[in-house]
């Protein structure tokens, strides 16, 4: 079965006769095979079938879909990104050193198995239960069955904890049989980062990770950090031990771990750790074989390159002289003290250079629109594969550092209050003399291989005339050309996803899966109220001030909710005797959070009740909106 048939996708290249020659950024020496030797080092075995399926037989991860990544890069893919895809698609069980093993290529992230005195210490159990189960099965098959004695979550992103229920059970954790170790604040941060803007982030993530694209030389070839994200069942178990400071050490199943906290860099809460027994260092996702994101195209709060760099320097000072192998949550390990020190140093300098030079240029008066074209990495960084922008880009990261300090406004009065994209598009088309003029000039730029402004001009035209098929087709072909020259996997996927939707419209193939009950159970009540606040229809709510008590009767949690001038406020631990009350059981609340149950269903079942005027509470829930997931991105 081909990768095309295994993956739901649609044709991207329809109507495109041939790719024009593209200009790609200079890339390091592609004849250097040392990374391939490192990525293949210690290989033990993999499963032959090429897919991971769920209980119903649905494919949740297709690592065999990347078998086409052979030989030299075709004209449709940047050679650096093609090379990175080849490396990331190497899958199976690998020995890091005797006693430390990784399963790579079964998800976008790695899972690591450390041999303790009694069993396995499992680090970062992938995104979904299904891929984690398969990884553990491979380890037990090849290395002999051993119990899991501990799980370590290095940080609060889903690809490092979501598969935990495929590794251990809740009963094993509750009984003390298995410890779960995580950085302080893990639970809240794991839930909160994508909560309030989660719908928009998830829609954009479908572009970023190429979720709707075929796995092919014309489609998705990976995302730089890994190949793709699995689509199985996510979960979470609460940590039993939290690491609160750098320098803290812990012995788990007879193995000593020494920690470096790395808050507010790659993740809101994260740590790296050192294993003295093996002179081995777990770099988590702070150090990677690519430039990472200081701003992620799916959308998130920007990250501080200065802090990121500082944490790597702390690792250099503390462990640079006594580390023989460095492994991480993505990519392949680095062996040898000299190679490790050089790798760490360059990764440290990479984030600091982007941070500092962005501010240097900003202080000279350059704006976030100008700095990306002015900021070039020095040869000592640009010439290393692990500094290249296969995932993050210098362009987006420079804009992120500008935004971190100065915000999105560039200081130019013309940009204080610009028109929105539809009206600006109409004015642009009017100014240049109509749609025919735009098409003629964009077509000439296309023939010359000058794509960037042609894309801008055609985008204006499409927002002015969304039904202009000729403009949509030409812009789709320009996006396809830009994708072919993109070294960054996310940029390529954005361009190709945009091209597809311009050609075929938004393909409503079903929304993302309903939220995990584990995440809903762990969601603090105050964050749930913040979530409701951004779902409140403000204009309608502005005419309907009200207040009521919200009580979770079996946990004792309660709050007073106040709707005032179209806003929702919550006062935790408080109630008003004069206000009606909404009472709900903990498990029923999970059903409400995950949209498995409606309010009328819960009231009918008796797992929720209303005391006092029911119209106040029922009316409030009618003011909540569920946003459309498949909103337009490339059209108004």
Identify the CA nearest to 268 among candidates 157, 361, 122. 157
Q: Which of 338, 358, 378 is the last residue of a domain?
A: 358
Q: Which of 473, 504, 535 is the last residue of a domain?
A: 504
The pLDDT of residue 518 is: 87
The pLDDT of residue 24 is: 55
Give the model confidence (pLDDT) of 222-254 as tens digits: 999 999 999 999 999 999 999 999 999 999 999
Token output for 366: 């350059």
Mean pLDDT of the chain: 93
Give the position of tokens 């409140």.
Answer: 536
140 and 83 within one domain: yes
Non-local (6+) Cβ contacts of 340 within 8 A are 281, 320, 323, 324, 325, 326, 334
Judge whether 385 lies within some domain.
Answer: no
529 and 498 within one domain: no
Mean pLDDT, to the nearest integer, of 314-322? 97
* pLDDT tops 50 at residue 17: no
Share of the chain above pLDDT 90, in %: 88
* pLDDT tops 50 at residue 16: no
Give the model confidence (pLDDT) of 161-212 as tens digits: 999 999 999 999 999 999 999 999 999 999 887 788 889 999 999 999 999 9
Burial of 595 (0-12, 13-18, 19+ CB in 10 A): exposed
Give the model confidence (pLDDT) of 423-454 as tens digits: 999 999 999 999 999 999 999 999 999 999 99
536 and 500 within one domain: no
Identify the CA nearest to 266 among candidates 240, 246, 296, 237. 296
488 and 528 within one domain: no
186 and 123 within one domain: yes
354 and 425 within one domain: no
Q: Which of 358, 378, 406 is the last residue of a domain?
A: 358
The pLDDT of residue 23 is: 52
Q: Give the pTM.
A: 0.91
Judge whether 628 lies within some domain.
Answer: no
252 and 145 within one domain: yes
The pLDDT of residue 510 is: 59
Mean pLDDT, to the nearest integer, of 484-492? 97
CB 87 within 8 A of CB 332: yes
* pLDDT tops 90 at residue 595: no
Non-local (6+) Cβ contacts of 402 within 8 A are 358, 362, 367, 368, 371
458 and 354 within one domain: no
The pLDDT of residue 197 is: 87
Judge whether 407 lies within some domain.
Answer: no
- Kind and range of the H or E run holding 430: helix 421-432
Residue 534, domain extent? 524-622
The pLDDT of residue 515 is: 62
The pLDDT of residue 194 is: 75
CATH number for the domain harbouring residue 144: 3.60.15.30
78-114: buried (b, 16+ CB within 10 Å) or exposed (e) per residue? bebbbbbbbbbbbbbbbbbbeebbbbbbbbbbbbbbb
Work out the pLDDT band at 507, boundaries 50, 70, 90: confident
- CA gap 77, 66 in Å, rounded: 14
Judge whether 366 lies within some domain.
Answer: no
Higher pLDDT, 212 or 550: 550
CATH number for the domain harbouring residue 444: 1.25.40.880
Mean pLDDT, to the nearest integer, of 56-70? 96
569 and 498 within one domain: no
310 and 425 within one domain: no
CATH number for the domain harbouring residue 544: 3.30.1050.10
Give the position of tokens 């985008």.
Answer: 459
Judge whether 390 lies within some domain.
Answer: no
Give the position of tokens 């990479």.
Answer: 350
Judge whether 123 lies within some domain.
Answer: yes
* pLDDT tops 70 at residue 22: no
Judge whether 564 lies within some domain.
Answer: yes
61 and 169 within one domain: yes
The pLDDT of residue 520 is: 84
* pLDDT tops 70 at residue 2: no
**What total number of domains does the chain contain?**
3
542 and 464 within one domain: no
Judge whether 516 lies within some domain.
Answer: no
């Amino acid at each position: 079965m081909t990768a095309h048939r295994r993956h739901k996708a649609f044709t991207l290249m329809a109507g495109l006769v041939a790719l024009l020659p593209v200009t790609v950024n200079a890339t390091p020496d592609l004849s250097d095979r040392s990374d391939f030797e490192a990525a293949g080092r210690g290989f033990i075995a993999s499963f032959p079938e090429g897919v991971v399926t769920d209980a119903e037989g649905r494919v949740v991860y297709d690592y065999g879909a990347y078998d086409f990544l052979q030989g030299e890069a075709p004209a449709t893919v940047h050679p650096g990104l093609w090379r990175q895809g080849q490396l990331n698609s190497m899958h199976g069980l690998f020995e890091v050193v005797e006693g430390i093993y990784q399963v790579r290529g079964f998800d976008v992230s790695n899972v690591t198995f450390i041999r303790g005195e009694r069993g396995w210490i499992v680090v970062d159990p992938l995104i979904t239960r299904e891929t984690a189960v398969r990884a553990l099965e491979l380890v037990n098959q090849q290395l002999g069955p051993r119990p899991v004695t501990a799980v370590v979550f290095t940080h609060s992103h889903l690809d490092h904890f979501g598969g935990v229920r495929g590794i251990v059970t809740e009963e094993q954790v509750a009984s003390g049989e298995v410890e779960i170790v995580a950085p302080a604040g893990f639970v809240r941060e794991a839930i909160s980062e994508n909560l309030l803007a989660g719908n928009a982030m998830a829609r954009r993530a479908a572009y970023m990770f190429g979720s709707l694209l075929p796995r092919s030389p014309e489609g998705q070839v990976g995302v730089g950090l890994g190949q793709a994200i699995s689509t199985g069942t996510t979960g979470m178990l609460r940590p039993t031990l939290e690491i609160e400071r750098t320098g803290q050490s812990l012995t788990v199943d007879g193995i000593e771990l020494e920690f470096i906290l790395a808050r507010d860099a790659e993740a809101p809460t994260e740590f790296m750790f050192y294993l003295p027994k093996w002179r081995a260092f777990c770099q988590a996702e702070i150090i990677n074989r690519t430039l990472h994101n200081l701003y992620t195209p799916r959308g998130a709060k920007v990250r501080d390159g200065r802090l990121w760099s500082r944490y790597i320097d702390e690792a250099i000072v503390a462990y640079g002289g006594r580390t023989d192998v460095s492994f991480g949550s993505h990519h392949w390990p680095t062996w040898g003290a000299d190679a490790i020190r050089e790798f760490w140093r360059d990764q440290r300098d990479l984030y600091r250079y982007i941070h500092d030079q962005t501010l240097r240029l900003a202080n000279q008066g350059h704006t976030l629109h100008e700095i990306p074209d002015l900021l070039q990495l020095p040869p000592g960084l640009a010439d290393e594969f692990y500094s290249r922008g296969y995932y993050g880009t210098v362009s987006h990261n420079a804009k992120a550092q500008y935004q971190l300090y100065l915000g999105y406004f560039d200081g130019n009065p013309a940009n204080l209050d610009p028109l929105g994209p539809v009206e600006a598009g109409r004015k642009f088309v009017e100014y240049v003399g109509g749609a025919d003029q735009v098409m003629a000039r964009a077509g000439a730029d296309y023939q010359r291989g000058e794509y960037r402004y042609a894309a801008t001009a055609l985008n204006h035209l499409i927002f002015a005339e969304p039904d202009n098929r000729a403009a949509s087709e030409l812009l789709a072909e320009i996006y396809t050309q830009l994708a072919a020259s993109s070294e960054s996997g996310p940029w390529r996927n954005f361009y190709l996803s945009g091209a597809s939707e311009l050609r075929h419209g938004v393909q409503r193939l079903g929304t993302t899966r309903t939220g995990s009950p584990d995440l809903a159970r762990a969601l603090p009540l105050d964050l749930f109220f913040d979530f409701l606040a951004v779902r409140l229809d403000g204009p309608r709510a502005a005419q309907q001030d009200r207040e009521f008590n919200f009580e979770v009767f079996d946990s004792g949690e309660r709050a007073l909710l106040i709707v005032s001038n179209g806003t929702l406020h919550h006062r935790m631990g408080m109630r008003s005797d004069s206000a009606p009350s909404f009472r709900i059981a903990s498990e029923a609340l999970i059903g409400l959070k995950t949209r498995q149950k409606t309010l009328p269903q819960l009231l009918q079942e008796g797992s929720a009740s209303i005391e006092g005027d029911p119209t106040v509470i029922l009316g409030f829930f009618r003011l909540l909106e569920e946003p459309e997931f498949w909103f337009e991105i490339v059209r108004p």
